[in-house]
Structure 1
Amino acid sequence: MSSTVIVKENGQGRYQQAVQAGKHHYLADEPVAMGGADAGPAPFDFVLSGLGACTSMTLRMYAERKEWPLRQVIVELTHQKIDVDGSKRDCIQRQITLEGDLSSEQRERLLEIANKCPVHRALAQSFLLECHLTG
């Protein structure tokens, strides 16, 4: 399971955040067009990164178990708001490139597996989100 993630303002910019995930430290920020300094990825970039990484890792694990000749996985993701029945909904599009001498059946199976990666499943269903104030 993943470690606790701590996010706090770092005082270096209007929206800039210091992010700590286990032993890893990085920045988050909004793009200039949104009033930030673009010092790090925006929040939805992290969501897309998590989905893309999980997709690629899941496909790699599956292909290795099956001993399939998968040379490279590339996942390109975009996020946009779309209109669905008069309501704006978040839409993530995921384009997966599979390199290797794979049959059409193997490629189709890998697409099925991509849609079963843990982050995909979590995003595709409703999360239970709890929020509490301290201090």
Structure 2
Amino acid sequence: MNDNEILVTIGNTPYTTTIKHGNNTLIADEPEELGGQDEGFNPPALLLSSLGSCKAMTVKMYADRKKWDLQEVNIKLSYEILKSELQQTTYIKCHVSLKGNLDKDQKDRLLQISEKCPIHKILSNPIIISSNLI
């Protein structure tokens, strides 16, 4: 398995899904009211988690390289789907909070940098998903 591959497995337990990447494992699930076991994040939460963690890591790496006093990054994410006759549009909101001894210019720059994280770039550009049976 390479760095871009994830193995997802579901068995007989309704909706409880094991996600493997290298030596790491996550559990995804649905809440009990939807028939799941509520043992892990649901798929939309995993998507938002991926975006938020990528933004936070990217901001931290940049601040560390600049030797800026960034002590903590908090990102609160949510999404809303608006449907029309022709398509649906998903709006993801990312509320970024930066703690540390940073001036306004540094904070503004770190917000710009957060939008350059790899997951933000993936989600902001056209995506083609190809599925096949193997």
RMSD: 1.9
Structure 1 residue 64 corresponds to structure 2 residue 97: no
- Kindly state the Cα deviation for residue 87 of structure 1 after the two structures are TM-superposed: 4.6
TM-score by length of 1: 0.89
The within-5 A match list for 1:21-32 is 21-32=21-32
Q: Percent identity?
A: 32
Change (3 A) 1:102 1:25: same
- Unmatched segments (≥5 aa) in structure 1: none
Partner of 2:44: 44
Partner of 1:4: 5
- Kindly state the Cα deviation for residue 132 of structure 1 after the two structures are TM-superposed: 1.6
Number of residue pairs aligned between Structure 1 and Structure 2 = 133
- Unmatched segments (≥5 aa) in structure 2: none
Change (3 A) 1:65 1:21: same
- Kindly state the Cα deviation for residue 56 of structure 1 after the two structures are TM-superposed: 0.6
- Kindly state the Cα deviation for residue 127 of structure 1 after the two structures are TM-superposed: 1.2
- Kindly state the Cα deviation for residue 38 of structure 1 after the two structures are TM-superposed: 1.2
- Kindly state the Cα deviation for residue 86 of structure 1 after the two structures are TM-superposed: 7.4
Q: Is the 8 A contact 1:28 1:41 kept in 2?
A: yes
Query: 2:21 & 2:73 partners in 1: Cα distance?
Result: 25
